[in-house]
Amino acid sequence: MNIALYLRNTDTENEHSQRFADSPQLERLITLLNDRGVQTHIVHDHLPSCHLDFLLSIGGDGTLLSSVHLIANRDIPVLGVNFGHLGFLTTAGRDNIDSLVSDLMAGRYTLEPRTLLHVEARDAGGSLSTFALNEVSLHRFDDAPLLRTDLYVGDDFVANYAGDGLIVATPTGSTAYSLSCGGPILTPDSGCFVITPIGVHNLTLRPIIVPDTAMLRLVTHAQPQQFSLGMDSRRQRLAYGAEINLSRQDFSIRLVRLGHQSFFSAIHQKLGWGGVPPRQ
């Protein structure tokens, strides 16, 4: 078995990556895997050419989002190991390395397919094509006027949003930026996207859920300034007047859940929902 251990290595993350790389928990994780006959590969910027059975993302949610773009369509299951803070997308923490390895080796896990957003964007300066696991967001800069965006679902005009921006989130991303802006929580298998306004000036414009088979088109009104296009943890400057087309990506990412974990157990544990399950 071959397992890659991914540590994000960017200019802004070097200090954190080095801290994780030197941690005794990571050393123990590697030792436990090697003792089980697993070949481990530390990766930063690219994957090895050999077949990989799993990729373990070492860090927080930002690291896991970055690892997804490293994998793309290679269909390698991703298991998030939380060396960061909240780690909603991660499955295990630094304090339960032993049970992580035991569950993984014993096959006590499930694989959850996660929908991706395909992104096509263009403005006067060029075009880009990529994908996002959490969300795509449009946001005005602090000193810029309101960002005015027309939303189309298929050929139907939905609304003009005038405010700080707009979020289109997958079910995975519904517990991230969209949730903080008042969007609903979607289960991973719900088969839809949620469109959530950011600081919109028309208070009747509420979050709306559309099927993930829909083709979405966002058209920004022409002005001389620029705005920010966010795709998970990456950002791109685009000029007003840009057009962004969104659809379901033709491949998905599989996240690993260990043992008896579920989406709702993660909600209880990491979002602090109250109550305990009744006795059967």
**DSSP H helical ranges for the chain:** 14-21, 24-35, 61-71, 97-106, 177-180, 263-271
CA distances from 14 to 11, 34, 44, 102 (A): 6, 26, 11, 30
Spell 238-268 as b/e; 16+ CB within 10 A means b: bebebbbbbbbbeeebbbbbbbebebeebee
Distance, in Å, from the CA atom of 221 to the CA atom of 218, rounded to the nearest integer, reads 10
Active-site annotation holder among 61, 103, 123, 212: 61
For residue 228, give the DSSP letter.
E
By three-state DSSP, how is residue 162 classified?
Answer: strand
156 is catalytic: no
Q: How far apart are CA 50 and CA 43, in angstroms?
A: 13
Q: Which residues are catalytic?
A: 61
